Amino acid sequence: MTLRRTAWHRATVVSVAAETATARRIELEVPTWPGNDAGSHVDIRLTAPDGYQATRSYSVASSGPGTRLVLAVDEVADGEVSPFLVRVLAVGDPVEVHGPLGRFFVWTPSADPDPAPVQLVAGGSGVVPLYAMAAAHERSDDGSEFRLLYSVRTPDDVFFRRELAALRRTRVDLVHTRSAPEGDRRPPRRLVREELDRLTLGPALAPRIFVCGSTPFVETVSRWLLEAGHAPAAVRTERFGGSA
């Protein structure tokens, strides 16, 4: 974890693109950005013309030094902030950003000649900080073995599909819960315990594990990991969710 002071920043939107049917990839230029570790998040605060404000957290898909931030925002039906970010926000618009946030759920490359392997487990949009970790690992000299198990509703909901397919240094396993690709032998259904055990690095390898997704997903997967024999200290979690 690299120590960087958290602050409020003014950002400008430099690009927007559809990531899936309901999500958008947004690139921000943040001149005062100190850089961020993989796994960090930001709080985005919007202010309406009448002064009404709403703030929501979004994981950052990018990492490292530099002043560019990449976000992948999924639209929450009837949400406060995400519908604006996904449908209305335009190139050139200003955005208030608070960050980098999160020093617990981050991964940084290690200089250790024999580093522990890393297992990433993502549920839905929980893939964003974990993709950031895999991408950081890809660019680094870190020698650890990396795996990503990514549970997603349908093939059309996959975030960073091309980037994930291009990763040479992370093994990616996709599990589809609602509909699967043509020819896939696995019927679409929720991840089950046996699959988690089979597709993840086992406790004998003492991996560092990062789990991110909705609270029910994170708690189920964490429970299974501990039951399988992973040390509690080896498992780090980040829960996503809306609020009223």
Instruction: Give the footprint of another protein on this chain (CB under 8 A).
Output: 1, 3, 5-6, 8, 10, 41, 43, 46-49, 52, 54-55, 57, 78-81, 83-84, 88-89, 93-96, 98-105, 214-216, 237-241, 243-244
Measured from the CB atom, the residue of 46 and 116 that comes closer to another protein is: 46
Measured from the CB atom, the residue of 204 and 233 that comes closer to another protein is: 233
Q: Is there a contact between 165 and 139 (Cβ–Cβ < 8 Å)?
A: no
- Give min distance, CB of 160 to another protein, in A: 21
111 residue type, one letter: A
Q: How many helices (H) and strands (E) does the chain have?
A: 5, 11
Q: Is there a contact between 43 and 49 (Cβ–Cβ < 8 Å)?
A: no
Q: How far apart are the first and last CA of the chain?
A: 32
- Give min distance, CB of 141 to another protein, in A: 23
- Give min distance, CB of 36 to another protein, in A: 11
- Give min distance, CB of 221 to another protein, in A: 14
Measured from the CB atom, the residue of 66 and 216 that comes closer to another protein is: 216
Residues near 190 by beta carbon (within 8 Å), at least 6 away in sequence: 151, 177
Measured from the CB atom, the residue of 174 and 209 that comes closer to another protein is: 209
Tokens 């335009």 label which residue? Answer: 90
Measured from the CB atom, the residue of 8 and 91 that comes closer to another protein is: 8
Measured from the CB atom, the residue of 34 and 143 that comes closer to another protein is: 34
DSSP-assigned states of every residue in 59-88: EBS--BSSSEEEEEEEPPTT-SSHHHHHHT
Pairing mode, if any, of strands 170-176 and 118-123? unpaired
Q: Output the six-digit token pair for 17.
A: 């693109």
- Give min distance, CB of 54 to another protein, in A: 5
182 residue type, one letter: E
167 residue type, one letter: L
- Give min distance, CB of 18 to another protein, in A: 19
